[in-house]
Chains A and B, each alone.
Chain A
Amino acid sequence: MSVLEIKNLQVSVITEAGNKEILRGVDLTIKSGETHAIMGPNGSGKSTLAYSIAGHPKYLITGGSVTLDGNDVLEMSVDERAKAGLFLAMQYPVEVPGVSVSNFLRTAVTAIRGEAPKVRTWVGEVKEAMASLNIDTAFSERNVNEGFSGGEKKRHEILQMELLRPKIAILDETDSGLDVDALRIVSEGVNRVKANSDLGVMLITHYTRILRYIKPDFVHVFANGKIVEEGGPELADKLEEQGYAAYITA
């Protein structure tokens, strides 16, 4: 049983023109097995929240705390956070030229599990995970995300999640850019990991579509750098009908 606790988190983005305040006091607690949907207008700071938890260097934490099972996440280096059990499926996965998917996956799994996976079982494990996400095995030999289509990148993020077995996963618009079939396949992947490992999920999305596959326990409305309303799945339907107008008060 794991708990990610975000308390009064305040974050600025570091820019050449100076620091710009984005997160203005975010409070959120995610426990194993729970799925929290985060919905909010463009530019409200959802990705900033995701990146800040993962430790991206372009964000400056100006206040508040993030802990995983009581351990201070903000004190950890980026890789330590991943080893502690956090995973971020990125809105825009990064291309890494010259590094093959298979080398990358093996290196990552070795780092997270603390030992190199057994060659025999590893090959099968990757094959199976790829097959279940409908990823052609030819991708193993391609460079990480290089030339992948938008949807292929997203599937590849979930592939990593399956293999790295995190405690808490943040999925930043993993559903954007997926066709109907891919959305189902990716959702099934997330549900499979949830079923196998009691994963806690922060699901950032703009659409209720994915919530039909991955049932949220909680829905949070995110606006202007913080959570402005919380509710159950019914809140997502309300947002779809009424939009965010009620929450955006300048």
Chain B
Amino acid sequence: MSQLTTNYLTPTGREEAWRFTPLKKLSGIHDLEVSVADNISLFAKSDLPKGVSLTTPNTSDHPPAYAASDIVTNRVRKEAKKTTLITIADNTEIAEPIFLKRKCGPTAEVSRAVIQVGVNSRATVVIENNGAGKLGEEIEISLAAGSSLNFITLQEWDLNSVHLAQHHAIIGKDAQFNSYVVSIGGSTVRISPTVEYTGMGASAEMYGVYFATDEQHLEHRIHVNHSVPNTKSRVNYKGALAGKGAHTVWIGDVYINKGAEGTDTYELNRNLLLTDGARADSVPNLEIETGEIVGAGHASTTGRFDDEQLFYLQSRGIPADIARRLVIRGFFAEIISKLKSEEIEERLMNRIESELSRVGE
């Protein structure tokens, strides 16, 4: 965008884009003075189905398809010599999810990936980010006309991991992009899911779930750019926080440009504070430059855990810890159930519950 002056300099924390992020905890991923390793860290978890390929060509052969404003994204582009390229051929329907796993090295590193979904194809890609890692990454996703992609990233990192990422989707005519960002692990996680539209009838649904405990910083910066007519976006992020120093940030920037008549957008962020000492920042931002739209709205709420619900459940004999879990599960269910995978759902809820039981220790 327009802030070139700061974009390619190490952020100081005074920049609007960095004012919430604890720079000291980033292991230098953002700091041009600190060197970063260039590793391939993304791998297919099992054999890829027919029509899907994963290769690692030179980044110079797959240059960025959009201009990035994020310092880390630009750094990744500069440092990553190889790009992990995942392609889904035209007219291909992959029923089973394609699972990708992450394996990071011991020091700060970068990763660049490009996912290309062919014309009229449908697929689900799941990236499991777990273990230890200090990762700066960019994932560029392009959806050709009439295609559909469920893109799921699970941040189930170990306690001390750091992850800064941009997921940028370029959505073609009548294509459907569904993004699910789940962030539970890691000491500092900052994900920027951003989308742009290149054809009419393109649509994005962006869902997120995050759960922050003691001293954890989880930040999600959504950016939706409606620039062509008749496109749609739905954003719904839900977060829960527990413990001292737990901090979440949700930024929801939606732009409806002059030419984007017929835009239909709604964004929502809800935060649930389970204990004192946690902080949820939520900043929805909607800018509209044309009056000819179908609908545009946003909502943001941050509330405390409802003791009345807890009392009601307990008064039916349900012990406090199980009651609390039921309510938290219920809070997240709306989104997690959309993943349509009982296995992932169970795993995430178990992780959330084990994080919860550790709070304040």
Contacts and interface: CB of A to CB of B under 8 A. Distances in A.
A99 B327 contact: yes
Interface string B299-335: 0000000111101111111111011001101111110
Interface in A124-171: 143-144, 160, 164
Given A94-B308, A97-B330, A111 B317 contact: yes
Contacts, number: 83
A56 B307 CA distance: 10
B331 to A, nearest CB: 6
Contacts of B312: 90, 93-94, 96, 144
A111 B322 contact: yes
A55 B315 contact: yes
Nearest to B330: A98
Residue from the set A83, A87, A96 with the largest chain B CB neighbour count within 10 Å? A96
Contacts of B311: 54-57, 78, 94
Contacts of B320: 77-79
Interface in A86-111: 87-88, 90, 93-99, 103-104, 107-108, 111
A144 B320 CA distance: 17
Contacts of A87: 315
B319 A111 contact: yes
Interface in B238-278: none
Contacts of B322: 107, 111
Interface in A58-94: 77-79, 81-83, 87-88, 90, 93-94
Interface residues of B, number: 24
A103 B318 contact: no
Nearest to B314: A78
A99 B330 contact: yes
B314 A98 contact: no
B155 to A, nearest CB: 22
B331 A104 contact: no
A54 B330 CA distance: 24
Given A57-B307, A90-B312, A96-B312, A107 B318 contact: yes
A88 B322 CA distance: 20
B321 to A, nearest CB: 10
Interface in B210-251: none
Contact of A164 (B314, B317, B326): B317
Contacts of B315: 54-55, 78-79, 81-82, 87-88, 90
17 contacts: A54-B315, A55-B311, A57-B311, A79-B316, A79-B323, A81-B315, A87-B315, A94-B308, A96-B312, A96-B313, A98-B332, A98-B333, A99-B326, A107-B326, A160-B316, A164-B316, A164-B317
Given A56-B311, A99-B327, 16 more contacts: A55-B314, A78-B314, A78-B315, A79-B314, A79-B316, A79-B318, A79-B319, A83-B317, A87-B315, A96-B330, A98-B332, A103-B326, A104-B316, A112-B316, A143-B330, A160-B316
